[in-house]
Amino acid sequence: MAASPMPPPQKSSSNVIWWVLGIIGACITLVIIAGLVVISVLVHKVRVNARDNKVEIETPVGSLKVNQDNEHTTGLPVYPGATLEKSQGVNFDVEANGKSAGLAIEKYTSDDPREKVQDWYASKLGAEFKLQVANPGGNDQIQGLPINVKTTDVSFVDDRGNGARVVALARHGDGTEITLVRAGKKEPQ
């Protein structure tokens, strides 16, 4: 008997699977490397300063500042003799392309009665501020701002299209609690 010729070796389908898995693995590796390069560039371009009660993050496109200290950041007048409540203030500003917006809140107390403080603010604030008195049974929050208004409280509100400024006055024992709020576009100081 003559020996029959051996059939040619067949390519294994497992070789194709290994090639496909290798290509997929190489693509994943390239994506990870590209991501790490982007993160590295951003880390070197982003500057973070944290000291005292301030955090500032600066990037090539803008900056973010969060402050909690005794700076007067609302730009609203402070009632004479009022005492700043240190743990009750915050300033959050975002700046980009030369424009600034954010939220600033300051809280003060005065020994003077609310009516006297209200009269002082009525004479100091401009005509753009409208007096708002809480409506029994109505909405007890100034829309878009973190201030609740009780039926014994009053607020002076300037809610122009580019932001809002609020002076909220509440009875606090025999004295007055004064909350100053600036939300939206930052006014020049």
Strand-pair category, 47-51 with 54-59: antiparallel
* Residues in contact with 89: Cβ distance below 8 Å, sequence separation at least 6, in sequence order: 68, 69, 70, 73, 104, 105, 106, 107
Count of CB atoms situated within 10 Å of the CB of 183: 20
Which residue ranges make up each domain of the chain? 70-185
116, 117, 98: which is closest to 179 by C-alpha?
117
Are the C-beta atoms of residues 26 and 12 closer than 8 Å to each other?
no
Report d(CA 133, CA 17) in Å as an integer: 74
189: confidence class by pLDDT, cuts 50, 70, 90: very low
Residue that is written with structure tokens 């929050």 in the block? 141
Q: How confident is the model at residue 155 (pLDDT cuts 50, 70, 90)?
A: confident
Q: What is the mean pLDDT of the chain?
A: 75
Predicted confidence (pLDDT) per residue in 84-116, tens digit: 876 556 666 666 677 777 778 888 899 999 889
Q: Do residues 157 and 128 make contact, with C-beta atoms less than 8 angstroms apart?
A: no
Confidence (pTM): 0.59
Q: Bridge partners of 93?
A: 65, 102
* Residue among 94, 37, 105 nearest 64 (CA): 94
Which tokens hold the place of 58? Answer: 């600066």
Residue 183 has pLDDT above 50, yes or no: yes
Q: Is residue 93 classed as helix, strand or coil in its secondary structure?
A: strand
Contact between 61 and 96 under an 8 Å Cβ cutoff? The reply is yes
The string of pLDDT tens digits covering residues 43-77 is 777 777 777 666 777 766 666 667 655 567 778 88
Residue-wise DSSP of 49-83: EEETTEEEEEETTEEEEEE-SS---S-PPPPTT-E
